[in-house]
Amino acid sequence: MFEKLEKLKKRYEELTNLLSQPEIVSNFETYKALSKEHHELSEIVELYNKYLETLKTLNETKTFQREINDPELKELAQEEINSLQENLKELEEQLKEALIPKDPNDAKNAIVEIRAGTGGEEAALFAADLFRMYSRYAEKKGWKVEVVDFNETGLGGFKEIIFYVTGNNVYGTLKYESGVHRVQRVPITESSGRIHTSAASVVVLPEVEDIEIEINPDDLKIEFYRAGGHGGQNVNKVETAVRITHIPTGIVVQCQDERSQFKNREKAMKILRSRLYDKMLMEKEAELVAHRRSLVKTGDRSEKIRTYNFPQNRVTDHRINLTLYNLQDILDGELDPLIEALKLADRKEKLEQG
């Protein structure tokens, strides 16, 4: 670990020197790239320097303790040594955590897709509950939610709803939500009061820029049609909704939220890029079968990850065996206790693997 830290420190000092050179400053793209790398290394180098400073102070205190004869001073020195050793342990743990490779997608915006699964109308109503939960959570985080496409049912549920979430570190927070969410409750459509189990799937994708994945225009089939659902009387008069088919993969995306063809096409292309990027990553990970996927970040979207049990006011995340008894608070957007626990478990898993 310390050999790696020394290399990072050396690189940081090299970057500091480069960023002061006129030929680097005058080249915007080079300066931008080196500044980003410098900023990313600054936190860990600062932490490592603090570790080295603490280690130096510890060694000096030990030397001082050995060279003095005063019992009272020796005792005070020992107290200082104990405190410094504790600090060193804490700093070493922080350094181990700081060395965990960061997901480059974490800082990106996200595209969230919720689809009703088994359970008919009740599953669609649960999908609507999940959309409301994420919308409220986004509001608490200061994020923005934009609906892209939806397929609404008669009772106000969603067979499918797709939306953007934009803000700070959105994908890095919401990525843990991908998987099958299960609900256990008495549906409003059930007259006998029996508890039913329904499900909805959630997929969270990072928003992908044009430069990250190229799409050949010849591979696209683009269709325009009249939107349905919300939007007022004008929504059905003009063919503003867009459906794009990526012919090589068969991936189909559509957007009907905006009133202009251009904006809907732009949003649909963003979703297509993200789905193609996700497909590429999944294929790449399938090739690396020797590397076991972590418990928290499982890519198997058919796997049940969480159960919302209404009769017991209980929410259980099955990946980390965490159960909370505040179901309504969670559905009202109080997701931080769950997500922070998942992040912690993810970091712990990576540290153990590392």
- Model confidence pLDDT, tens digit, residues 295-354: 344 434 457 999 999 999 999 999 999 999 999 999 999 999 999 999 888 877 776 665
The full set of domain ranges for the chain reads 2-98, 110-207+293-353, 213-287
213-287: what fold? Answer: Double Stranded RNA Binding Domain (3.30.160)
Are 111 and 277 within 8 A, CB to CB? Answer: no
For 110-207+293-353, CATH number out of 2.60.120.380, 3.30.930.10, 3.40.50.2300, 3.30.70.1660 equals 3.30.70.1660
Q: How confident is the model at residue 293 (pLDDT cuts 50, 70, 90)?
A: very low
- Averaged pLDDT score across all residues of the chain: 84
Compare 193 and 324 and report the one with higher pLDDT: 324
Q: Which CATH architecture has domain 2-98?
A: Up-down Bundle (1.20)
Strands 304-309 and 179-185: parallel
pLDDT at 290: 39
CB neighbours of residue 2 within 10 Å? 11
Could you tell me the CA-to-CA distances from 51 to 8, 46, 283 in Å, in that order? Answer: 14, 9, 41
Residue 98 has pLDDT above 90, yes or no: no
Are 179 and 197 within 8 A, CB to CB? Answer: no
What angle in degrees, to the nearest 10, is found between the helix axes of 71-98 and 336-353? 100
DSSP 315: E
pLDDT at 79: 92
pLDDT at 173: 93
Q: How confident is the model at residue 237 (pLDDT cuts 50, 70, 90)?
A: low
Q: For 220-230, how does the pLDDT look when each residue is reduced to its tens digit (9 = 90+)? A: 888 887 766 54
Residue 289 has pLDDT above 50, yes or no: no
